[in-house]
Amino acid sequence: MLFALAVAALVLVPVAVTFSSFARVEGDILAHLTEFVLPELVGNTLWLVLGVAIGVGVLGVSLAWLTAMCEFPGRRLFDWALLLPLALPAYVTAFVAIGLLDFTGPLQTWLRESWGLTGLPEIRSRGGVILVMSLALYPYVYLIAKNAFATQGAIALEAAQSLGLSRTQGFFRVALPMARPWIAAGMMLALMETLADFGTMAIFNYDTFTTAIYKAWYSLFSLPAAAQLASILILFVLVAVVFEQRSRTRMRYGAVGRGAASRRIKLSPALAGLALLYAGAVLAAAFLIPITQLALWTRDVIAADLDARYWAFAWHSVLLAGMGALMVVAVALLLAYAGRQRPGPAMMWTQRLATLGYAFPGAVLAVGLFIPVAALDNWLIDTGRAWFGFDGNEILKGTLLVMLLAYLVRFLAVGFGPIDSGLHRISRNIDEAAKNLGTGAAGLLTRVHLPMLRASLLTAATLTFVDIMKEMPITLMTRPFGWDTLAVRVFEMTSEGEWERAALPSLAIVIAGIIPIILMTWRGAHSHG
């Protein structure tokens, strides 16, 4: 419990810095935003959240059901390949989608010039943003829901059928409701990322709450107004999270049984064909087409841009993402475990607060962390000067420690989601049985729960690893001199609109991100036996 509080306190630092902005209210800027900017973008944001929720929900759940419960040609390939879009930053998918589908893109140009056809739906629109975000983020739901279906789906379905329900009824009335906490955990991650997204929204020029935050900061020169808007966003997320939590604490979930592998549903040839077509189309749109475009662009710039430094960039990225993922997983495990040992409203709030960092717009969180670190540093330096003749101007700033702590605050939710829902799946009867056999709390964790949690831990580590690889604002603000990463390269290229040149570092991020995804799938498959 103490530990959980300490972690929550760490996350509360940037939250407190952000909320402290209310000490200085710039009335004219807020009044302007309220009158001319907010009305439209609140609507925009709500539509976006609703659309992406439906998008990632439908894509993630349906694909998870198909690969976990059904048999169709290519299933084993799709099982892991459908995770690949995780490695692709959403802004890359967005840029490629607009490049291909806009008025100037090849498709519309061809239709116009060969057939005289115009009037295709505009990609730079609300529908376009929702489509791209759904394609980029569905793997969060897919991954977590797949684990749920794989461990409980078959038996649930069998039970439903023995009660006289059809297969479809069984899915909607038994399997789906039973998987709800996992689906919700995945959707929460996707939606928090959507709310905090800036890059994709900038490419679509789609105004959301987060773009208004940056407008207040960068264009209206008011960091306080930006922080105030961010506070409102965070409160909104907190309410949503708690509401979601409330609605499911009334239910208890435990695993019904394991292993769907032997009892997959054999689809009829027609249905199997449809399943193949559907999974293939999603994979193509979300990954294959964007990655092909990236590869083509990379081919044009690789000779000029690829130099020896890329090894260092890639090494920094992998090292930071690896250390960050380990730290996030360890802390998330302890936080989730504390919740199992001492459930209750206080613990629930602690957990919710501790995982809020993911909903922050990245740069706002970076500043919220940097300000207190710099203040502490200034104090340390002054003390050092007065007492020890210290000569320098950085102690904590510009160290990897600050960077890793910042990643922890930002990505704890990503590690916590899968681990917490994994823990929920372990029946309390097992705990009782272990206790009766004389196992203590520590033994329960290491000898009983950890082996059962292996898949969840791997999921958490992979998601965090890939997210850190793609992360930009925190990396930019807290990296020590010379610690440029692949994501920093993407920033250097895109900051002056050189998207094609950004293909090289983007592609490198994807490749480095694919490795743990494949590793996870391979290990995951083996741990299921």
Partner 1 sequence: MKPTLTRLLAALAFTAAALPALAEEVVVYSARNEQLIKPLFDAYTRETGVQVKFITDKEGPLMARLKAEGKNTPADMLLTVDAGNLWQASEEGLLRPIRSQTLLANVPAHLRDPDNEWFGLSVRARTIVYNTGKVKPAELSTYEDLASPKWKGRLCLRTSKKVYNQSLVAMMITEYGEGKTEDMVRGWVGNLATAPFPDDTKVMEAVAAGQCDVTLVNTYYFGRLMEKSPNLPLAIFWPNQNLKNKAAGVHVNISGAGVTRHAKNPAGAQKLIEWLSSDKAQNLFADVNLEYPVNPKVSPDKTVAAWGGFKQNLINVKEAGSLQTKAVKLMDRAGYK
Residues that bind partner 1 (CB under 8 A): 29, 32, 36-37, 98, 102-104, 109, 122, 124-125, 202-205, 207, 211, 214-215, 217-221, 223, 363, 366-367, 370-371, 374-375, 377-378, 381, 393-394, 397-398, 473, 476-477, 479, 481-482, 484, 488, 491-493, 495-499
How near is the Cβ of 257 to partner 1 at its closest, in Å?
50
How near is the Cβ of 383 to partner 1 at its closest, in Å?
12
Neighbouring CB atoms inside 10 A of 263's CB total 12
Helix (H) or strand (E) holding 485: none
How near is the Cβ of 479 to partner 1 at its closest, in Å?
7
Q: Measured from the CB atom, is 389 or 438 closer to partner 1?
A: 389
Name the region of 499 (left: φ>0; alpha: ψ -120 to 50; beta: rest). Answer: alpha
Q: Measured from the CB atom, is 3 or 221 closer to partner 1?
A: 221
CA-wise closest residue to 401 among 312, 483, 488: 483
How near is the Cβ of 282 to partner 1 at its closest, in Å?
26
How near is the Cβ of 219 to partner 1 at its closest, in Å?
5
Q: Measured from the CB atom, is 123 or 174 closer to partner 1?
A: 123
Query: What size, in residues, is the chain?
Result: 529
How near is the Cβ of 367 to partner 1 at its closest, in Å?
5
Residues 39 and 31: beta-carbon distance below 8 Å: no
Beta strand residue intervals within 212-283, DSSP E: 265-266
Give every CB contact of residue 96 below 8 A, 6+ residues apart in sequence. Answer: 289, 290, 293, 294
Q: How far apart are CA 470 and CA 476, in angstroms?
A: 12
Q: How far apart are CA 361 and CA 371, in angstroms?
A: 16
Q: How far apart are CA 299 and CA 504, in angstroms?
A: 8
How near is the Cβ of 89 to partner 1 at its closest, in Å?
15
Q: Measured from the CB atom, is 58 or 375 closer to partner 1?
A: 375
How near is the Cβ of 501 to partner 1 at its closest, in Å?
8
Q: Measured from the CB atom, is 358 or 370 closer to partner 1?
A: 370
How near is the Cβ of 481 to partner 1 at its closest, in Å?
5
Backbone angles phi, psi at 259, to 5 degrees: 80, 100
Neighbouring CB atoms inside 10 A of 260's CB total 21
How near is the Cβ of 505 to partner 1 at its closest, in Å?
12
Buried b (16+ CB within 10 A) or exposed e, 225-259: bbbbbbbebbebbbebbeebbeeeeeeebebbeee
Residues 294 and 96: beta-carbon distance below 8 Å: yes
CA-wise closest residue to 197 among 299, 374, 44, 303: 44
Q: Measured from the CB atom, is 104 or 262 closer to partner 1?
A: 104
Q: How far apart are CA 132 and CA 126, in angstroms?
A: 10
Q: Measured from the CB atom, is 128 or 422 closer to partner 1?
A: 128
Buried b (16+ CB within 10 A) or exposed e, 364-379: bbbbbbbbebeeebee
Q: Measured from the CB atom, is 270 or 303 closer to partner 1?
A: 303
How near is the Cβ of 121 to partner 1 at its closest, in Å?
13
Q: Measured from the CB atom, is 389 or 529 closer to partner 1?
A: 389
Q: Measured from the CB atom, is 26 or 71 closer to partner 1?
A: 26
Q: Measured from the CB atom, is 58 or 107 closer to partner 1?
A: 107
Return the structure tokens found at 186: 């995945």
How near is the Cβ of 302 to partner 1 at its closest, in Å?
15
Per-residue DSSP letters for 401-428?
Answer: HHHHHHHHHHHHHHHHHHHHHHHHTS-H
Backbone angles phi, psi at 70, to 5 degrees: -115, 165
CA-wise closest residue to 189 among 349, 528, 419: 419
Q: How far apart are CA 71 and CA 327, in angstroms?
A: 37
Q: Measured from the CB atom, is 150 or 226 closer to partner 1?
A: 226
Indicate the SS3 state at residue 501. coil
